[in-house]
Amino acid sequence: MRNRVCKRQREHADDATKLSEEVVTDNTKDSHEGRVSEQEMKTTAAPVEKHPPTAPVPVQDEAASAQADRESKGTDPLEEATKLAAENRDRWLRAVADLENFKKRSAQERTKLIKYQNEDLLRDLLTISDNLERALSHCDEKTASSGLVEGIRLVANMLKDTMSKYGVSAIECIGKPFDPTFHEAIGKAPGTGAAPNTVVQELEKGYMYHDRLLRPAKVTIAA
């Protein structure tokens, strides 16, 4: 009986020991997991390091770098400045010369425009002058002294004077050598006794407008 009691006591003691070991093991595991979880939280919550912005390079550093480059290349700043000043002066002189040439061309074109501004009008008036001349050439001796003919002659002369005032002048061509610049040959006349290519007849009078040809003279030349 006593042996049974002792045996049961030993079994209870063994069970208590096992239970105590299991409790210690669980506590150790929980403690380790707690430390790991706390470490993970610290790692996650740690702030991200921010790198400070790069400071801009001071202008003085750039100037010093440029100065160092010039010194390494053996370039004299004064020599560079003198060369640049000479180039700028050359550009300025060219610009001034171009401006003066432009002014001269503009003045010449303006003068030319004013000088020949009535060219088209005067060319049209030549047709009226031709018709008046033809009308007078067909008048016979009986009608030459009539008032109508005198009126036509007066108008023709006034028209010539007006055109002359604006720089129109007739081209003299009878007896002159043929010049294709001022004459337009309509035909040749044989047996005139004049030298070949001499203007012997004027079919339509030619005119100059200042130094410009307004209309060539239509002529017949000797064969």
Cα 165 to Cα 115: distance, rounded to the nearest angstrom: 12
- Please identify which residue in the block is written with the tokens 């003919």: 149
In this predicted structure, the answer to whether residue 154 has a pLDDT above a threshold of 50 is yes
Does pTM surpass 0.75? Answer: no
- In this prediction, residue 5 carries a pLDDT of 42
Q: What's the CA gap between 203 and 214, in Å, rounded?
A: 16
Sheet of 168-170, strand order: 168-170, 207-209, 212-215
Q: Which residues of 112-132 are buried (b: 16+ CB within 10 A; e: fewer)?
A: eeeebeebeebeebbeebeeb
Question: How do the domains of the chain map onto residue ranges?
Answer: 80-115, 116-222
Query: What percentage of the chain exceeds 70 in pLDDT?
Result: 65
End-to-end CA distance of the chain: 181
More confident residue, 35 or 134: 134
pLDDT tens-digit series, residues 97-110: 999 999 999 999 99
pLDDT at res. 67: 66
Average pLDDT, integer, range 174-190: 94
DSSP-based three-state secondary structure for 203: strand
At residue 16 the predicted structure's pLDDT band, cuts being 50, 70 and 90, is low
CB under 8 Å to 156, separation ≥6 — which residues?
Answer: 129, 132, 133, 136
Q: What's the pLDDT score for residue 148?
A: 85
Is 169 in contact with 208 (CB distance < 8 Å)? yes
Per-residue model confidence as pLDDT tens digits over 189-213: 988 888 999 999 999 999 999 999 9
Average per-residue pLDDT for the chain:
79
Architecture category of domain 116-222 in CATH: Roll (2.30)
144 has a pLDDT exceeding 70: no
50: left (phi over 0), alpha (psi -120 to 50) or beta: beta
CA gyration radius for the chain?
60
Top mean-pLDDT range of 26-30, 39-43, 77-81, 126-130: 126-130
